[in-house]
Amino acid sequence: MNKSTASRMRDLGAFGLAGFAAAAVLFSVAQFVSAFFATASAPLVAMGSVFIDLTPPWLKDFAIATFGTNDKLALFISIGVIAAIAAVLVGILARRSYALAATCIVVLSVAIGTAVLSRPATGVVDLTPTILGSVAGLAALRWLTALASKARPPVPGGTPVPGASRRNFLIGTAVSLMGAAVATGVGKSLATARNVADAARSALGLPPAAVTAPPPPANAQIELAGMPKFITPNKDFYRIDTALSVPRINPSEWSLRVHGMVEKEFTMGFEELLAEDLVESYLTLTCVSNPVGGQLVGNAKWLGYPLRLLLERAVPRDGADMVLSTSIDGFSASTPLEVLTDDRMALLAVGMNGEPLPLEHGFPVRMVVPGLYGYVSATKWVVDLEVTRFAEKAAYWTTRGWSDRGPIKLSSRVDVPRSFASVPSGKVVMGGTAWAQTRGISKVQVQIDEGDWQDTELGAEASVDTWRQWRYEWDGGSTGNHVVSVRAFDGDGTMQTSEKADPVPDGASGWQRVQFSVE
C-alpha cells in the first residue's frame, strides 16, 4: 500500500469512527430522555417492536427455535449491529458532505419517529426523545467531523498539521462515547426509579383465595435428577411475548373494559377485582411455538376471578362466539366464547405461585385458560375484553399466519436422558412429562430402539389441567447408541398422533425421539 492510500484509509477510518460516535450520542440521549416518556418512545424499543410486528411466522419460529427465550436479546444485538454499520457509512458520507450525512440522519429520525407513533401507547409528546437525540447526534457529527478534517495528514505541499489535531479528534471521540455510556446508564437508573409498577407490586398484598386448590399430591413429582419441578418457579417460567420492554402498569390506574356484543358494558378497576371471591387453580400453560420435546411449557398455581362469572355479568348477546382480549401494548388474542363460559377454570389472574404476577408475566392482570395455547388465550397486561365474532375480528397472530383457534395438542416429552447424553451401562431410569389440558393424561409409553412399546409409571395426577410426569426403568442395553421414543394417551384414551407437524399454524405434533449412548 502506498503512502497516500494509507492516509486515505486512515481518514476514512476517522470519519467512520466519527459517525459511530455520533450515533452513540443520538441513541443514548434518546434513551436517557425516554425515561420521562412512554417506554416505546426509546428508538431501539420502538424500532424493535415494529420489527417484531412485521416478522413473518417462519422468522418468529426460527428466532424462537434458535434463540429460545433470548430471542429479544438477539433482536437488540442485530439492530445494534445494523445501526453501527449504518452509522459508520453516514460518517464516511460526511467526509464528502456534512449536509448529505445530516439529511440521512434526519430521514432516519423521521422513520424512528414514525415507529414511535405507530406503537399503541404513544402520543406526539413521545417524539421528544427522538428529536432531542437527533439534535445531539447531528451536533456530535458536526463537531467530530470538523475535528477529523483538522486531523487530516498534510497533503503534499500543504501546511503540516500539528500532532495536537489528531489528539483532539481522538479526545473528542472518547468524550462522545463516554458521554453516551453515562447517559445510557443514568437513563436506565432513572427509568427504574420511576417504575411505579415495581414499587406497587412489592407493596401489594394479595387477598386470600375464597376457593383454595388442594396442593398437588407429593408423588406428582418424580424424584429423578434432571426432571422439571412439578410446579415451575416463577423465575424459571418460560416467557414468550411481543413486548420488547415489559409494560409497567400502575395497578391503581389499571382497568378492564368489557364491551362489544353484550347487554351490559362495564369497566372494572383493580380494587374491585381484588374484592371479588378469588379462586386458586393449578394450570399448565403451553406455547404454540413449542417444538416437539421443547421447553415452552410451565405449570403454576394461579389466583384469579373466573372469566365465566365476569362474562355472565356482561350478558353476551346471541350470535357472539369470540372474546377478543387486548393487552395495553396492543397484542390481542381470540378466545372462543364457549371456552370462557363452560365449566373449565378460565381465570382473570392476579397471582402466580402465591405472589402477584411478575411484571414479565402480565402484572397486574392477565388471562389463563385451560386447554388453549397462550397465543389465543393467555393475554398478559390485559385491559380490554370485546365480545364479538370470529367472522368479524382477528387477533394479533391470526393476521400473521397462525390459526384463529388454538386447542393444545396432546404432547409428551423425554426429560431424562437428555439428547445425546451418555449413561453408564446397567439399569437406566428415564423420566419425562406429558400434557393434555382439560382431558388429563391416562397413559405414557416409551419405546427403546425398535422394541415393543412399554407402559411407564405415572406420577400422581394433580388435575386434568396440569401436566403429568412419568418414569421408566430400563434394564439397559449394549454399549453404543440407543433411541427412546415417547407417546401419551389422554384421559379419553386417545393416543398422541405420530404425524409430524411444525408449530405453524396451530402447534407441533409427532413423537419425540431422543438419542443417547450407553458407555
Ligand X SMILES: Nc1nc2c(c(=O)[nH]1)N[C@H]1C(S)=C(S)[C@@H](COP(=O)(O)O)O[C@H]1N2
Residue 456 CB, nearest distance to ligand X (Å)? Answer: 27
Interface segment toward ligand X; rule CB under 6 A; list 114-122, 189-197, 241-249, 404-412: 241-249
Give yes or no for residue 363 binding ligand X (CB under 6 A): no
Closest approach, Cβ 440 to ligand X, in A, equals 21
Question: Omega into 370 within 30° of 0, i.e. cis?
Answer: no
**How buried is 498 (Cβ within 10 angstroms: 0-12 exposed, 13-18 middle, 19+ buried)?**
exposed
Helix (H, G, I), strand (E, B) or coil at 351: strand
Q: What residues does 336 pair with on adjacent strands?
A: 322
Tell me which residue has its CB nearest to ligand X.
374
Which range touches ligand X (CB under 6 A), out of 142-150, 239-247, 414-422, 482-490?
A: 239-247
Of the candidate residues 240, 337, 430, 448, the single one contacting Mo ion (CB under 5 A):
240
Contacting residue, 72, 166, 344, 361, with ligand X by CB under 6 A: 361
Q: Which three cell numbers stand for residue 123?
A: 402520543
Q: Which stretch binds ligand X (CB under 6 A): 25-33, 127-135, 152-160, 232-240?
A: 232-240
Binding residue for ligand X, selected from 20, 238, 467, 489, defined by CB under 6 A: 238
Question: Is residue 422 within 8 Å of residue 464, measured between CB atoms?
Answer: no
Distance in angstroms (rounded) separating the CA atoms of residues 200 and 179 = 33
SS3 content of the chain, % helix, strand, coil (to 5): 40, 25, 35
**What value, to the nearest 5°, has the Cα angle with vertex 459 and ends 457 and 461?**
125
Note whether 443 binds ligand X by CB under 6 A.
no
Roughly how many angstroms between the first and final C-alpha of the chain, as a whole number? 58
Cα distance between residue 455 and residue 6, in whole Å: 73
Note whether 381 binds ligand X by CB under 6 A: yes
- List the single partner that 230 binds among ligand X, Mo ion, none, CB under 5 to 8 Å by kind: none
List b or e across 439-470, with b for residues whose CB sees 16 or more CB atoms inside 10 angstroms. bbbbbbbbbbeeeeeeebebbebbbbbbbbbb
Q: Restricting to residues 242-261, which ones interact with ligand X according to CB under 6 A?
A: 242-243
In angstroms, what is the minimal distance from the CB of 233 to Mo ion? 20
Q: Is 511 in the site for Mo ion (CB under 5 A)?
A: no
Cβ proximity of 416 and 225 under 8 Å: yes
The contacts of residue 342 (CB under 8 Å, 6+ apart) are 308
Q: How many residues bind ligand X (CB under 6 A)?
A: 19
Q: Is 285 in the site for ligand X (CB under 6 A)?
A: yes
Shortest distance, position 232 Cβ to ligand X, whole Å: 9
Dihedral-angle region of residue 260 (phi above 0 means left; psi in -120 to 50 means alpha; beta otherwise): left
Residue 374 in contact with Mo ion, rule: CB under 5 A: yes
The nearest distance, CB 326 to ligand X, in angstroms, is 8
Three-state DSSP class for residue 188: helix
Q: From the CB of 162, what's the least distance to ligand X, in Å?
A: 58
Comparing CB distances to Mo ion, the nearer of 304 and 374 is 374
According to DSSP, residue 509 is labeled B
Map residue 207 onto helix, strand or coil.
coil
The only residue of 61, 71, 126, 241 in contact with ligand X, by rule CB under 6 A: 241
Q: How far is the CB of 492 from ligand X (least distance, A)?
A: 25
Residue 133 binding ligand X, by CB under 6 A: no
63 vs 240, which CB is nearer to Mo ion?
Answer: 240
Task: Report if residue 331 touches ligand X, rule: CB under 6 A.
Answer: yes
Q: What stretch of H or E contains 435? A: strand 428-435
In the complex, the smallest distance separating the C-beta of residue 374 from ligand X, rounded to whole angstroms, is 2
Is residue 136 within the footprint of ligand X (CB under 6 A)? no
Q: Does 287 bind Mo ion (CB under 5 A)?
A: yes
- Whose Cβ is closer to Mo ion: residue 144's or residue 285's? 285
Residue 374 CA to residue 231 CA, distance in Å, equals 18
CA distance 211 to 155: 85
The single residue listed with the C-alpha cell 394450570 is 283
C-alpha cell read off for 316: 353476551
Pick 176 or 327: Cβ nearer ligand X: 327
Among 187, 374, 417, 432, binds ligand X (CB under 6 A): 374
Q: Which is nearer to Mo ion, 409 or 482 (CB)?
A: 409
Q: Give residues in contact with ligand X (CB under 6 A).
A: 237-243, 285, 287, 327, 329, 331, 361, 374-375, 378-381
Q: Give residues in contact with Mo ion (CB under 5 A).
A: 240, 287, 374-375
